[in-house]
Amino acid sequence: MKLVIVDTAQIQPYIFGSNRLRENVGASYLVAAATGEWALQSIRKVAQRHNVKDDRAGDRDDPNNMLIDTQQIERDHLDGEVMYAGGGNFVALFREDEVARRFASHLSRRVLEDAPDLQLVIAQQSFDWSESLYMAVQRAFMALNQQKRTGQVSAPLLGLGVTAVCRSTGLPATGFAPKVGADDGSRYPASAQILAKHAMLGEAKDKLRHVFKPPAGYDYPDDLENMGGSAGEFSYIALAHADGNGMGERVRDIGKHTNDNRDYIIALRSFSRTLNKAAQTALRETLELLNTRIWRDGGQRIGHYSLATNDSQPKEIAHITLAKADNVYYLPFRPIVFGGDDLTFVADGRIGLSLLVDYLTRFEDQTRRLNLPGGKATACGGVAILKSHYPFAQAYQLAEQLCKSAKIYRRDAMLGNVSCLDWYFTTTGLSGGLGEIRRIERETAEGKLTLCPISLEENQKEAHRSWQQMYRLVCEFQGKNWAGRRNKQKALREALRLGKTSTQHFLTRYGIKELLPLPGSDDFQINGWAFNRCGYFDALELADWYIPLVEGPEVHA
């Protein structure tokens, strides 16, 4: 037999190398198709007997749902059996080497023709059913990773003679793509890669609407301009990235504790299906919560208010006006990558953090309810909140670094099986990595201005570093004693930046006995700092624009 694993390489620049949302969406669809429905179709094309259903070309919820579990290669003389598709990988067994070769050839050609410049990586490993399938899979993945590290990357054919340049990639243009929002039919030069991404936009939208159906009269935006930014007031996007914790170890544990090859396949499929269902259900419930909030606010906006005084007049803190076109309102939220434990979405900057917090909470709950092998799963996430025209590739890199920062904190603080998150908001451009950015903008002689990264739920090691505590502070600064008093908030921020003594002077000048307490040390409420960290800078920053999906005790609509 031949064990074959399919993966893709260099997908980050492929998906996020453009500032045009529709190109990012189309690219994400192409990456998912290469290791999903296209791979399934290639199996059906080259293998006479297989375990892929023939009634549909692919499944829009989960490629594993296209597999016939009762068909087994060792018993039913299949030419090819798909083991599972998940986590961006496609794993299959072939009875004959020639069939495996034809599969690789057919899929590679499909990717070359329909997804130009997408880097496909295929590893093959000889296997005998009497051997350990788990060990063969480990060897194949090692070979796959070696190929990704050392393999020669396909170089695109550059222009010959006089050529127009693609405005998105800088590669030679081979055609023209329509401009977003242009009513006069204007187009711009585009490379083969960009044209392929545009060609898949319809398929990508159909899949998104099928998996996460928007309410009647609403749709997902194809343009960042329709994300909900307020002209002249707030035009920021939130790019969020979330990734499950320890999923690779869970998959390895399945093999370590399963001696029978068929049981191993069954367990892998069950894990992949359950994980995908949990993630999609969590995201679907988060979207339903967002929709509920929109409907409650009249269907055209999301408003956030707080009682600024002791009277009954509410003070508006922030609001999002939904963009509209052709009698359809655009949701201020668009998933770009979704499947398994991996999620990337873009949203209006004021609700990106709320959406991520809700999703992480629901992801934990769903994995617990669905009895995911290994028990409840957690995830870490990062949110970059930046100006809407900030380079998308750099925004994604920052979101990914923030997610990694949360994972490192979870590991180093030995917090156990918990979710963690990190975020960064800036009104300016950024240069360098996350560590350098924070060193320049978030560190003083007193220590670090930020509490991030933090745990989602109660933090057993550093009680002051949790979302529960952060949200309590945000509600306070958006409450009646602070909302609408920008000079007071600004003065506190400057005092905190200058250090403990300045913070004490601020409290005296404004007649404030102490700040809201934080667990772990009384120093927080006395001078704003403890453990070389400022306890209130993050919450003050969020208070200016943060919109919760579920409002806190001090906040009233």
**DSSP letters spanning 162-191:** S-PBPTTTSSBP-EEEEPTT-SS--EEEE-
- Cα–Cα distance for residue pair 72/74, rounded to 1 Å: 6
Report d(CA 62, CA 241) in Å as an integer: 20
Task: Give the SS3 label for residue 333.
Answer: strand
Size (the chain), residues: 557
319: left (phi over 0), alpha (psi -120 to 50) or beta: beta
What is the reported pLDDT for 183?
Answer: 58
Within-domain flag for 473: no
Report d(CA 401, CA 73) in Å as an integer: 42
Tokens 């306890």 locate to 535
Work out the number of other CB atoms within 10 angstroms of the CB of residue 248: 10
Instruction: Judge whether 255 lies within some domain.
Output: yes
Whether residue 220 sits in one domain with residue 103: no
Q: List the structure tokens of 298.
A: 């009249």
Taking alpha carbons only, the member of 546, 549, 547 closest to residue 287 is: 549
Specify the residue for token string 């403890």.
530
* Same domain, residue pair 123 and 218: no
Query: Residue 554 has what pLDDT?
Result: 37
Give the SS3 label for residue 22. Answer: helix
Sheet holding 342-348, edge to edge: 333-339, 342-348, 236-244, 379-387, 420-425, 454-455
Q: Which of 407, 440, 473 is the last residue of a domain?
A: 440
Provide the pLDDT for residue 100: 96
* Sign of torsion over alpha carbons 249, 251, 257, 259: negative
**Residue appearing with tokens 């994604």:** 396
Backbone angles phi, psi at 454, to 5 degrees: -135, 165
Q: Are 99 and 4 in contact (CB under 8 A)?
A: no
Cβ 367 vs Cβ 390: under 8 Å = no
Separation CA 191–CA 173 (nearest Å): 4
- The SS3 assignment for 540 reads helix
Q: Which two tokens stand for residue 283?
A: 């995201």
Note whether 9 and 81 are same-domain residues. yes
Rounded CA-CA distance 170/378 in Å is 40
**Domain count for the chain:** 2
Residues 139 and 221 in one domain: no
In the numeric block, which tokens belong to residue 105?
């050839």
Strands 314-321 and 175-178: unpaired
Q: What is the CATH number of the domain that holds 404?
A: 3.30.70.270
At CA 401, angle to CA 302 and CA 283, rounded to 5? 40
In a 10 Å sphere around its CB, with 0-12 CB exposed, 13-18 middle and 19+ buried, how is residue 162 labelled? exposed
Handedness of CA 354, 359, 365, 369 (dihedral sign): positive
- Do 269 and 376 lie in one domain? The reply is yes
* Structure tokens that stand for 203 in this block: 């398929």
Q: Which domain holds residue 82?
A: 2-150
144 and 263 belong to one structural domain = no
Q: Which of 389, 412, 440 is the last residue of a domain?
A: 440
Structure token pair of residue 551: 């409002």
pLDDT truncated to tens, each residue of the chain (557 aa)? 999 999 999 888 899 988 888 999 999 999 999 999 999 999 999 999 999 997 655 566 788 989 999 999 999 999 999 999 887 899 999 999 999 999 999 999 999 999 999 999 999 999 999 999 999 999 999 999 888 887 665 655 565 665 788 777 778 888 888 876 655 668 888 888 889 898 988 999 999 999 999 999 999 998 888 887 655 566 889 999 999 999 989 998 998 888 899 999 999 999 999 999 999 999 999 999 999 999 888 889 898 887 655 556 677 888 899 998 888 999 999 999 998 899 999 999 999 999 999 999 999 999 999 998 888 999 999 999 998 888 888 889 999 999 999 999 999 999 999 999 999 998 777 677 899 999 999 999 999 999 999 999 999 999 999 999 999 999 999 988 887 788 899 999 999 999 999 999 999 999 999 999 999 999 999 999 999 999 999 999 999 899 999 864 433 33
Neighbours of 37 (CB within 10 A): 20
Query: Is residue 545 domain-resident?
Result: no
Tokens 């490379």 belong to which residue? 191
> In this structure, are residues 123 and 4 in contact, taking their beta carbons and an 8 Å threshold?
yes
Together in a domain, 233 and 118: no
| Domain-terminating residue out of 150, 165, 188 | 150
Q: What is the DSSP letter of 367?
A: H
Rg of the chain (C-alpha set): 25
Structure tokens given for 164? 């127009």
Q: How far apart are CA 229 and CA 232, in angstroms?
A: 9
For residues 240 and 128, state if they share a domain. no
Look at residue 379 and tell me if it is in a domain: yes
- Does any domain span residue 408? yes
Does any domain span residue 221? yes
Residues with Cβ within 8 Å of 145's Cβ and at least 6 positions away in sequence, in order, are: none
Residue with tokens 């200058």: 498
Taking the C-alpha atoms of residue 361 and residue 379, their distance in angstroms, rounded to an integer, is 9
pLDDT of residue 551: 63
Judge whether 410 lies within some domain. Answer: yes
Question: Which H helix or E strand runs over 303?
Answer: strand 301-307
Query: Would you state the pLDDT for residue 158?
Result: 60
For residues 135 and 284, membership in a common domain is answered with: no
CB 376 within 8 A of CB 360: no
Which residues neighbour 213 within 8 Å (Cβ) at sequence distance 6 or greater?
none
Same domain, 96 and 242: no
Question: Rounded to the nearest 5 degrees, what angle is found at the Cα of 33, between the Cα atoms of 29 and 37?
Answer: 140
Q: How far is CA 489 from the centre of its chain?
A: 32
Please, are residues 46 and 102 in contact by the beta-carbon 8 Å criterion? yes
Angle at 376 between CA 372 and CA 380, to 5 degrees: 115
Beta strands at 420-425 and 379-387: parallel, antiparallel or unpaired = parallel
Which residues share a beta bridge with 9? 119
488: enclosing H helix or E strand? helix 486-498
Q: Which residue has the tokens 């993945």?
A: 141
Q: What predicted TM-score, i.e. pTM, was given to this entire model?
A: 0.92
Provide the terminal-to-terminal Cα distance of the chain, rounded to the nearest Å: 64
Does 497 map to a domain? no
DSSP class per residue in 51-67: SB-SSSS--SS-GGGGB
